[in-house]
């Protein structure tokens, strides 16, 4: 009987060790969790990303931008000391003027952990935003927020992020403005 009890305790201990600690991604600021042990999963339980998934288009006169957003579930982050999982909203965009492509990020490897041109997060409290939406042509990054206005309409609002430029001993070229507007209203295609 002792051997059976010991085996049961051993199996139970091993199975407890491999369990995933699932945390609602929008509530992560209110919960202590480890982002280094490989067992944490910041999950979009409330499906906040879902309404943003798809192909979105903005047009104004001779300018247009197409933004494609994809939800990745249980994406494994393993950079440096980090070792956890999270749901994320990534994608790419194509910006055109007069029918000529000015920026096309559709060739981006969306499986990269960091350094993506389009990578949105759910902020604590449920807002969807981006810590760095890249303007490739101007070599700038913008902080962007997305606001769902209706099932087919979305507002894109960008602003220059803090610490975007690093000016040191070497001369740095600073491009003024942005290639595309920092406030756009997209329609789902």
Q: Where are the domains of the chain?
A: 2-188
C-alpha span between 2 and 123 (Å, rounded): 51
CB neighbours of 20 closer than 8 A, spacing ≥ 6? 39, 40, 41, 85
- pLDDT for the residue numbered 115: 83
- Pick left, alpha or beta for residue 14 (phi over 0 → left; psi -120 to 50 → alpha; otherwise beta): alpha
Cβ atoms within 10 Å of 80's Cβ, excluding its own: 9
Instruction: Find out whether 178 and 142 touch, Cβ atoms under 8 Å.
Output: yes
Give the tens place of pLDDT for each residue, 162-172: 544 455 566 55
Segment holding 155, helix H or strand E: strand 153-160
- pLDDT for the residue numbered 155: 96
Buried b / exposed e over 95-124, threshold 16 CB at 10 Å, is: bbeeeeeebebeebebeeeeebbbbbbbbe
Give the tens place of pLDDT for each residue, 57-88: 999 999 999 999 999 999 999 999 999 999 99
Look-up of token digits 């949105």: 120
Give the tens place of pLDDT for each residue, 82-139: 999 999 999 999 999 999 999 999 999 999 988 889 999 888 877 888 666 899 998 8
Pseudo-torsion of CA 125, 126, 127, 133, nearest 10°? 110
C-alpha span between 123 and 157 (Å, rounded): 15
Measure Cα distances from 79 to 16, 36, 83, 95, 142 in Å.
Answer: 25, 10, 7, 31, 23
- pLDDT for the residue numbered 10: 46
C-alpha span between 162 and 165 (Å, rounded): 8
User: In this structure, what token pair is assigned to residue 183?
Assistant: 């406030």
Res. 18: pLDDT tops 80: no
The answer to which of 4-8, 51-55, 86-90, 118-122 has the lowest mean pLDDT is 4-8
Closest by alpha carbon to 117, among 59, 48, 67, 155? Answer: 67
DSSP state of 3: H
């Amino acid at each position: 009987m002792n051997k059976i009890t010991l085996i049961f305790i051993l199996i139970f201990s091993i199975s407890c060790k491999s369990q995933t600690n699932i945390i609602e991604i929008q509530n992560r600021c209110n919960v202590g969790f480890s982002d280094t042990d490989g067992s944490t999963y910041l999950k979009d339980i409330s499906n906040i990303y879902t309404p943003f998934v798809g192909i979105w288009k903005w047009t104004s006169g001779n300018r247009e931008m197409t933004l494609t957003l994809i939800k990745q579930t249980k994406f494994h982050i393993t950079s440096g000391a980090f070792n956890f999982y999270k749901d994320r909203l990534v994608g790419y965009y194509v910006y055109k003027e007069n029918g000529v492509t000015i920026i096309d990020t559709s060739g981006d490897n969306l499986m990269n952990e960091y350094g993506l041109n389009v990578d949105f997060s759910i902020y604590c409290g449920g807002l969807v935003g981006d810590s760095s939406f890249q303007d490739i042509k101007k070599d700038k990054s913008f902080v962007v927020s997305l606001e769902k206005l209706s099932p087919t309409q979305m507002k894109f609002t960008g602003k220059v992020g803090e610490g975007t430029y690093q000016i040191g001993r070497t001369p740095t070229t600073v491009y003024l403005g942005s290639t595309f507007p920092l406030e756009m209203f997209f329609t789902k295609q």
